[in-house]
Amino acid sequence: MATTSDISKGMFIRHNGELVQILEWEHRTPGNLRAFYQAKMRNLKNGKSVENRFRSGETVEIVRVETKDYQYLYRDGNFLVCMDQQTFDQINIEEHLVGDAIQFLKEEMIITIVLEEGITPISAELQSFVVLEITYTEPGKKGDTATKTLKPATLETGATIQVPLFVDIGEKIKVDTRTGSYVERVK
């Protein structure tokens, strides 16, 4: 067992029997009161964020996790089938572990999967930026780069995002998977 002073942002702990990830961890000493740690955590089962106070020196159960890159192969119902690139072992992960970024997922992309004790997948995320091709958008105007007017565009994965007016069908663009926004054209 570890104490609250051993915890840092990004770690995984077991809190009230649930597996949570520390999003924010702050030590506070308010005036003449006792010091405590304020934590913002994300429950990995349901994705909800919770806040909690921990006393200084309180014991906490740290969960050991392993992070590994897998290649996405195909979808099987509500599961994504991914392959370890070194051992070629396949693993099934639930769709909801990827979150909203699943709309940008394409075959052969790399997914970073967090495994509890090297076996059970508890979290997954795509790369921060992916390059995708535009399959449909309204015709653009050449040289129209002065304004920040946007138009909808459908990507090869079926996702729809807002892009600048000068982007056309068949062009490849870089998309931020965390925000779902257009970044730039890729040549």
Domain membership of residue 160 as a residue range:
129-186
74 & 104 share domain? yes
Q: How many domains does the chain have?
A: 3
Q: What would the pLDDT profile of 86-118 be if each residue is shown by its tens digit?
A: 999 999 998 888 888 899 999 999 999 988 877
CA atoms of 91 and 111, how far apart (whole Å): 12
Predicted pLDDT at 166: 84
Q: Which of 45, 62, 79 is the last residue of a domain?
A: 62
Strand partners, 27: 37
Those residues whose C-beta lies under 8 Å from the C-beta of residue 120, and which sit 6 or more positions away, are none
48 & 75 share domain? no
CA atoms of 165 and 2, how far apart (whole Å): 54
CATH code, domain carrying 113: 2.40.50.140
Which tokens in the block code for residue 32?
């003449």
Q: Which of 86, 110, 126 is the last residue of a domain?
A: 126
53 & 71 share domain? no
12 & 49 share domain? yes
Does residue 123 contact residue 97 with C-beta atoms inside 8 Å?
yes
Alpha helices, H only, 107-160: none
Average pLDDT along the chain: 89
pLDDT reading at 141 higher than 70: no
Q: How confident is the model at residue 139 (pLDDT cuts 50, 70, 90)?
A: confident
Predicted pLDDT at 5: 87
Q: What would the pLDDT profile of 6-18 be if each residue is shown by its tens digit?
A: 999 989 999 998 8
102 & 137 share domain? no
pLDDT reading at 146 higher than 70: no
What integer is the mean pLDDT of 28-34?
86
Q: Residue 121, class by beta-carbon neighbours within 10 Å (0-12 exposed, 13-18 middle, 19+ buried)?
A: buried
Predicted pLDDT at 32: 83
CA atoms of 63 and 120, how far apart (whole Å): 12
CATH code, domain carrying 56: 2.30.30.30
58 & 73 share domain? no
Predicted pLDDT at 144: 61
Q: What would the pLDDT profile of 39-86 be if each residue is shown by its tens digit?
A: 999 888 777 889 999 998 899 999 888 889 999 999 999 999 999 999
pLDDT reading at 172 higher than 90: yes
Predicted pLDDT at 145: 63
Amino acid at 4: T
pLDDT reading at 143 higher than 70: no
69 & 122 share domain? yes
57 & 69 share domain? no
Predicted pLDDT at 142: 65
Q: How far is CA 101 from CA 24, 73, 109, in A?
A: 22, 16, 12
- 58-67, 69-78, 123-132, 135-144: least confidently modelled range: 135-144
Amino acid at 153: A
19 & 49 share domain? yes
75 & 49 share domain? no
